Amino acid sequence: MTANKYSILLPTYNERDNLPIIVWLLVKYMQESETDYEIIVIDDGSPDGTQDVAKELQKIYGSDRILLRPRASKLGLGTAYIHGMQHASGDFIIIMDADLSHHPKFIPQFIELQKSADLDIVTGTRYKGDGGVYGWDFKRKLISRGANFLTQLLLRPNVSDLTGSFRLYKKDVLKELISHCTSKGYVFQMEMIVRARQLKYSIGEVPISFVDRVYGQSKLGGSEIVQFAKNLLYLFATT
């Protein structure tokens, strides 16, 4: 039986400062766990030179390890994953943020948990065990907790952290879920879990510490919160 390969999708927009660090950490932890992997950088036309940095990283680590698959402009998270998946040669897909809020040290735990129970999805949780959030102000924590509480109340997904975006999927499961999803942006992650429950996929959780971005601007604003509320009600009505 051949060993599994993991395709790590990194959607980027203006992440030139973070990309070398996140890639270095990914390489370190994947090599330590002796796991076959590739890192697919899906850059949405960053004006800050993120793609130039990715090309330099290809020279260091090899273009078979670091794949650069850019797009012309910002087209949303869901479509970034579809785009990345089309270029992925792994049996499993790992999705995470490129801004250092997700630490690659948790990936071996994701892989172990998936293997132990042959799970379809493993998701990182900030709200269970020794998981937590660092670097957020009270307002951000309140919004996140509130969003999570409302979602639990309305959708009952049996997952403690719905809006997180640090996950491992079987590739065919991710394809199937994306074909059922209608949301864009922030709510996309939440809909993926709700649809997974609907389709009876098995889900495991690994406690993670989430650290607010070190460099650059957060992408969550007032319009995203309004969009989130609308989408939550839509999901409640259709699931």
**Residue 16: CATH number of its domain:** 3.90.550.10
Its domain, for residue 63, covers 5-136+163-179+201-215
Amino acid at 201: Y
- Token readout for 38 is 């590739």
Residues 188/181, Cβ–Cβ less than 8 Å: yes
pTM score above 0.95: no
Instruction: Provide the pLDDT for residue 109.
Output: 97
- Is position 146 within any domain? no
Specify the 3-state DSSP secondary structure of 38: strand
Q: Is the pLDDT of residue 1 over 50?
A: no
- Least confident range from 31-40, 54-63, 113-122, 188-197: namely 188-197
Q: Is the pLDDT of residue 193 over 60?
A: yes
- Is position 51 within any domain? yes
- Is position 77 within any domain? yes
- Is position 10 within any domain? yes
